[in-house]
Amino acid sequence: MVQDKNLPLQESNLVFGEGSSEAEIFFIGEAPGIKEDQLCRPFVGRSGQLLTKTIESLGLKREDVYISNIVKRRPPENRDPLSEEIEAYKPYLKEQIEIIKPKIIVTLGRFSMNYFIEKAKISKDQGKTFKVGDYLIVPMFHPAAALRGTTVLNQFQESFKKLPVVLKKYDDLMSGDDK
Ligand code: URA
């Protein structure tokens, strides 16, 4: 159970994830921030507002997708999650993915990207599509990085526009028959 007292970061609240159980797209961030900790919901602070707005620019609603993080509790002072924290919460993310069975997993930032594709580099690989097991992984910049500069913001928004195309080509991409 995710309420297990042996899991790390017990001093902060559990931010499990939210969205549709039928979601075709599953967004995975790093770990909750202060606002997420207060409201027990993922991506509801400034980065979350950008994420929500960009999801809506595709004609989707936040409720149509699923949103969660690798680490389900806020690290103190928003420090990077430690590898043992990522490891401890791994089984929960794995099960969330298995239950939702999305077509596309969008990783937001390098921690969730490297969780699926160990050797990937964010500036080189963001916006590309990778087939990993039963899923298509599309790494993207973290929205917090997009808020820090217009170049990254433009790349973030451009990469989002590829999602409907990837969804449409899903069967071909999964069968390795992409033209
Ligand atoms: N940053 C993340 O990675 N996740 C959140 O839920 C909020 C900010």
Q: Is the minimum distance from the CB of 75 to ligand 1 under 6 angstroms? A: no
The rounded distance, in Å, linking the Cα atoms of 52 and 143 is 10
155 Cα to the center of ligand 1, angstroms: 19
For the chain, give the mean pLDDT. Answer: 95
CA of 69, closest atom in ligand 1: 4
The rounded distance, in Å, linking the Cα atoms of 42 and 40 is 7
The token pair at 150 is 């217009």
Q: Is residue 9 part of a domain?
A: no
Q: Is residue 179 part of a domain?
A: no
Q: Is residue 55 part of a domain?
A: yes
The rounded distance, in Å, linking the Cα atoms of 108 and 11 is 25
Q: Is the minimum distance from the CB of 32 to ligand 1 under 6 angstroms? A: yes
Q: What is the pLDDT of residue 179?
A: 54
pTM of the predicted protein model: 0.96
Q: Is residue 66 part of a domain?
A: yes
Query: For 65-88, b where at least 16 C-beta lie within 10 A, e where not — what string?
Result: bbbbbbbbbbbeeeeebeeebbeb
Span 64-112, pLDDT tens digits: 999 999 999 999 998 999 999 999 999 999 999 999 999 999 999 999 9
36 Cα to the center of ligand 1, angstroms: 7
The rounded distance, in Å, linking the Cα atoms of 89 and 73 is 9
Mean pLDDT in residue range 38-60: 98
Number of domains in the chain: 1
80 Cα to the center of ligand 1, angstroms: 11
Q: Is residue 160 part of a domain?
A: yes
Span 13-41, pLDDT tens digits: 999 999 999 999 999 999 999 999 999 99
* Residue 84: CATH number of its domain: 3.40.470.10
Confidence grade of residue 47 (pLDDT, cut at 50, 70, 90): very high
Span 108-166, pLDDT tens digits: 999 999 999 999 999 999 999 999 999 999 999 999 999 999 999 999 999 999 999 99
In 3-state terms, what secondary structure has residue 106?
strand
Which residue range is the domain that position 83 belongs to? 18-170
Q: Is residue 71 part of a domain?
A: yes
